[in-house]
A and B are shown apart, each in its own frame.
Chain A
Amino acid sequence: MTEALSLVPTTDARVARAIDLIWREADLLDRREYRAWDELYADDALYVIPIDRETDDFASVLNMVYDDTRMRRMRINRLTEGYAIAAVDAARTVRTVSRFVPLAVSDDEVTVRSAQILVAYKRDHHDLWAADVEHVVRLGADGDRIVRKVIRLVDSEAAVPAAGFLL
């Protein structure tokens, strides 16, 4: 049974597991350990950076990223194989994820909304990437997995820098 939002604190053991996973993910992404990052995702997972902040029907609109597992793995290849000059010379990133709000909590699945502030540094410039993030984490005996991550940038409809890293 899914419990109502206001009743579940972030100290709830199921929510704490999800937050643990989200922080581990943030660390792996900042370290650009993309193959280890992939391990956090379920085979049916979606990773989305939409342009339209209001939609949930990502398939019907143009997104910045709309990755199923096939696309996510190709993206990881691109970011790690050494041919992509944007990835070879990618900005160094440091991100914090906080302001966690559990949206739906059951014994099988936790949906958490959070704020992510990322600073990317490259060649004397700092770029700021701020976003509302939503994770759906599947809780399992064999490990917890991300089944959905949606990163809604505050400036998703404006021009952002072309990036050699992931949010």
Chain B
Amino acid sequence: MTIDETPADLVAADRVAGRLYTDPELFELEMTRIFERTWVWVAHESELPGPGTFKSTYVGRQPVIVTRDRKGVLRTLLNRCRHRGASVCEKPFGKANGFTCPYHAWSYGLDGALRGVPYPDGYEGVLERKDISLGRLRTESYGGMVFATFDEAAEPLEDFLGDVRGWIDRFMAQGGGFPIKVLGRHRFTFRGNWKIQLENTTDGYHFPIVHRSWMASVDAETADMMSFMTDPTAVTHDLGHGHSVMQMVPEHSDLAADDGTEPLQARFDHVVAELSTELDDAAVRRVVRAMHGTGFNLNLFPNVSMSAAFFRVLRPIAVDRTEIEHIAIGPDGPAALDVVNRERMRVHEHFQGPFGFGTPDDAEGWDRVQRGAQAAPGMPIMVNRGLAREKPSAEGWPTSHVTDETGMRAAYAQWKEMMGDD
């Protein structure tokens, strides 16, 4: 930035400055003004199935532990001992009664309260145990999605989500009447800025180009399902607060709306056969019709997308380094559903993850953006596709075709607002 430029000057309605991907000072500001201020996704409730369960993760660059305490309350705690700063938990998931620092054995409860300090006589007159705990972040959830924020004064999560809530409800309908649970996760890194990935989940335009090899490898029905480039009913809505939804397969946006005429995909015949011995026809149809998830990517600012049949979670590591998780999900119910979840994992493996038929090509594209954006830092990144055909929907959401850059414009408008706010 030049001396008289502010971050907000770098974002216009139709373009953003290339240095949004490359400037380390901007990255530092993003960590404090966005990731340490807004609601950041930390877990799905199924990852914390009972009292004492925990998950280690990050909010921005800060390591945290998400726990379910003895009373079942979800907590987000800074993974840092109050004494000398050591991490108190290095397991990704688990079950525990609390956390003990390995260095001097200060111990904490699942709610973060300091419970024990060895050889306490040295602390007489200088430490009140009840006044000290692991750092706590506000933690709230909606529809099973758990978010945390460093900002005690942040608006309630439900207000932050706003119109997104109805879309979360629709997304979770892919359980086919059963709750959703996490099945597993792919984790990979790429050498690029986090916003390149944030954009990608709302980028319908790249799909048939970058993912040509995946399209060539799937059955005709699946390829046809993803042929949205010229489908006028496939649209993206700006839902406000930086969030957007990209409807690639509009006939699967509301899975509850099913007139029974759509045939189930032949590739899942063996699933139908096995499920039919345990579930009635209507239940089988609900679950199998949702095998590819919902027909949309719900892109939440700043770090999570509920993307067709999985969650995409991004973690900024440095201005030019980002970690991505692709979390597979499926219906949580009787053992009869195992065949469904095995098939959902096979579908997930086919596209996602470091060796999928889709992800490595995405990552190559993003690496190339990071490398190319070093040239001409003053030259803008264009996010103007479809600007002239963007119109409000009946709900009042700015709306354009699914291949347009409406969702990116939504995210950058939120970025501009948060980064300009001193």
Contact = CB atoms under 8 A, between A and B. Distances in A.
Whether A associates with B in a native complex is yes
Contacts of A78: 213-214, 216-217, 357
A7 interface: no
Given A85-B210, A160-B188, A62 B360 contact: no
A157 B189 CA distance: 13
A96 interface: no
Specify which of A59, A84, A157 lies most central, judged by the most chain B CB atoms within 10 Å of its CB: A84
A49 B338 CA distance: 21
Given A64-B349, A157-B92, 9 more contacts: A59-B342, A60-B338, A61-B345, A62-B183, A62-B184, A84-B213, A162-B355, A162-B360, A164-B360
A163 B357 CA distance: 10
Interface of B: 92, 183-191, 210, 212-214, 216-217, 323-325, 328, 338, 342, 345-346, 348-350, 353-355, 357, 359-365, 367, 371
Specify which of B191, B348, B353 lies most central, judged by the most chain A CB atoms within 10 Å of its CB: B353
B188 A162 contact: yes
A13 interface: no
A65 B361 contact: no
25 contacts: A49-B355, A62-B185, A62-B349, A64-B355, A71-B350, A74-B217, A75-B357, A77-B216, A78-B213, A78-B214, A81-B213, A85-B364, A85-B365, A86-B361, A87-B360, A123-B367, A159-B323, A161-B189, A161-B190, A162-B189, A162-B354, A162-B355, A162-B360, A162-B362, A162-B363
B187 A159 contact: yes
Contact of A83 (B92, B187, B216, B353): B216
B186 A89 contact: no
Interface of A: 49, 51, 59-66, 71, 74-75, 77-78, 81, 83-87, 89, 123, 125, 157-164, 166
Specify which of A51, A81, A86 lies most central, judged by the most chain B CB atoms within 10 Å of its CB: A86
B189 A160 contact: yes
B187 A160 contact: yes
A31 to B, nearest CB: 19
Given A86-B364, A125-B191, A163 B355 contact: yes
B323 A60 contact: no
Specify which of A49, A64, A87 lies most central, judged by the most chain B CB atoms within 10 Å of its CB: A64
Contacts of B371: 123
Nearest to B371: A123
A161 B348 contact: no
Nearest to A66: B349
A51 B186 contact: yes
Given A74-B217, A78-B217, A86-B361, A51 B354 contact: no
B360 A84 contact: yes
A84 B185 contact: no
Specify which of B355, B357, B359 lies most central, judged by the most chain A CB atoms within 10 Å of its CB: B355
Contacts of B353: 64
A80 B357 CA distance: 13
Would you call the interface of chain B mostly helix, strand, loop, or mixed?
helix
B43 to A, nearest CB: 17
A59 B324 CA distance: 24
B365 to A, nearest CB: 7
A89 B364 contact: yes
Contacts of B367: 123
A160 B354 contact: yes
Contacts of A66: 346, 349
A71 B310 CA distance: 21
A158 B367 CA distance: 20
Contacts of B184: 51, 61-62
Contacts of A77: 213, 216-217
Contacts of A84: 212-213, 357, 360-361
Nearest to A158: B187
B86 to A, nearest CB: 21
Contact of A164 (B92, B217, B364, B365): B364
B186 A64 contact: yes
A62 B217 contact: no
B149 to A, nearest CB: 24
A86 B213 CA distance: 10
Contacts of A162: 188-190, 354-355, 359-360, 362-364
A87 B183 CA distance: 28
Nearest 9 CB-CB pairings of A with B? A62-B184, A86-B360, A162-B363, A84-B213, A159-B187, A162-B360, A83-B212, A83-B213, A86-B364
Nearest to A166: B355
Contacts of A164: 360, 364
Nearest to B341: A60
Nearest to B183: A62
